[in-house]
Amino acid sequence: MRTGIFGGTFDPVHVGHIKCAEEIMKRFSLDRIIFIPTGDPPHKIIRRITPARDRTAMLEAAVSGMKNMYVSRMECEREGTTYTYDTLKELRAEYGDSEILYMIVGADTLRDIVKWYKSDDVFKMCIFAAMKRPGSGDDEFYAYVKAAEEAGAQVEIADIPEVDISSTDVRKAVRAGEDISRLVPEGVGKYIEENGLYKQHTPDFGEIFADVRTLMSAKRFEHTVGVMNECVRLAHLFGGNAEKCRLAGLLHDCGKELNTQQYKWLGLSGTGTADYDAKEVLLHAKAGVILASERYGITDPEILEAIDCHITGRPEMGLTAQILFVADYTEPGRHGEMYDAVRREIACGSLERAILEECDRVILYNMGKKGARVCTEGVRTRNWIMSRISGVSKEA
């Protein structure tokens, strides 16, 4: 038997997916195609995808009555992060080694298969049926094919008509109130309408709070809530915007516990620079900004700045950023003299001296660690706040 595996988020499935499946079935003489909607795809971290039950239901509506096309819920029912390796291993166990499996991929996916979890093992279990995507030039596409083959993948090019439709197009059309009948199968359009999917929605604080909780461990979330509450307290003490500070505190560590693969999908890596010591812990601020803007729709520059520089501070940072910088250090879960010293400055009514004390303590701490490097951005923050304090002293 020759089986095509068509995986993806299918959020939602559209007519392009179905037409591609039909063409590939003819092109490779497949006996069947199995659509497998992803459960918890690691690379989709920047957007909250539609629940698996809805995506699966739309797929089932799309292939209803179509010969030799099926939908599998295996990835949706699997707990934890979904990897292609696990799916192929499960299919191999079910169908046996004699089954020829074709993994259907587009140019954008082909580009990244060398980054996949256990990619060497994946390459041994399937053949890739690679489709060109609209907007992907021939040179670019064949470069992806070459790179995949050099990494050990077996790639066969699916020379089929290109369909210039994406799930993003469908979601945008629904939000704009446009007719989507030409974009999705009839049953899918009906499901979207009846269930109110993809309409314009900006998550409120409660929704963001609940979602952030899913991104981190219980211990990290406890710290996050502590920072959030401390941000609000400091905002009231020093004239900050309490709501902005609360949201910045909630989101400051939302990228803290991503894995290496997720950082790569966000375009981030642990490569060191003159300012950082190549530790991934220092990447989570950048990841947090991406998630705050893309996953939660945060556009306020003060909140994004605060998340971006909460680890090291930044010269000329605004009040919301100053408050988060300190709150991350003085939240109730932090214990020890180095934290209490900063708290004493807050008790004396000086946010600026609290920032200076924190900078000094962090710099001294890092200098005392064997093999550690002091972050120069933290030094610049320390010098900036020192000049502000000196300026205030002279004016007084």
- pLDDT tens sequence across 126-139: 999 998 765 556 88
Q: At what angle do helices 218-238 and 319-330 cross, to 10 degrees?
A: 130
Strands 155-158 and 69-71: unpaired
pTM of the model: 0.69
Please provide the distance, in angstroms rounded to a whole number, between the alpha carbons at the two ends of the chain. 85
Q: Which two tokens stand for residue 207?
A: 């929704």
Give mean pLDDT, residues 40-59: 82
The residues near 75 (Cβ < 8 Å, ≥ 6 apart) are 7, 36, 37, 38, 39, 82, 87
Q: Locate 215 and state its tokens.
A: 């991104």
Residue 161 binned pLDDT confidence (cut-offs 50, 70, 90):
confident
Q: Which residue has the higher pLDDT, 388 or 283?
A: 388
The structure tokens 């900004």 sit at 289
* 8 Å CB contact between 167 and 14: yes
Is 272's pLDDT higher than 50?
Answer: no
Mean pLDDT of 71-87: 88
User: Whole-angstrom Cα distance, residue 33 to residue 68?
Assistant: 6
- The total number of residues shown for the chain amounts to 396
Q: What is the pLDDT of residue 227?
A: 98
Q: What is the pLDDT of residues 84-111, one digit of tens each?
A: 999 999 999 999 989 999 999 988 788 8
Pick the range with the lowest mean pLDDT from 99-113, 164-178, 268-282: 268-282
Average pLDDT over residues 151-166: 88
How many helices, marked H, and strands, marked E, lie in the chain?
19, 6
What is the reported pLDDT for 270?
56
| Distance separating alpha carbons of residues 308 and 321, to the nearest angstrom | 9
Tens-place pLDDT, residues 184-198: 999 999 999 999 999
Residue (of 152, 195, 203) closest to 174 by Cα position: 195
Report all structural domains of the chain as residue ranges with CATH numbers, in order of start.
2-195 (3.40.50.620), 205-395 (1.10.3210.10)
Beta bridge partners of 101: 3
In which band, very low, low, confident or very high, does the pLDDT at 287 lie, cut at 50, 70 and 90? very high
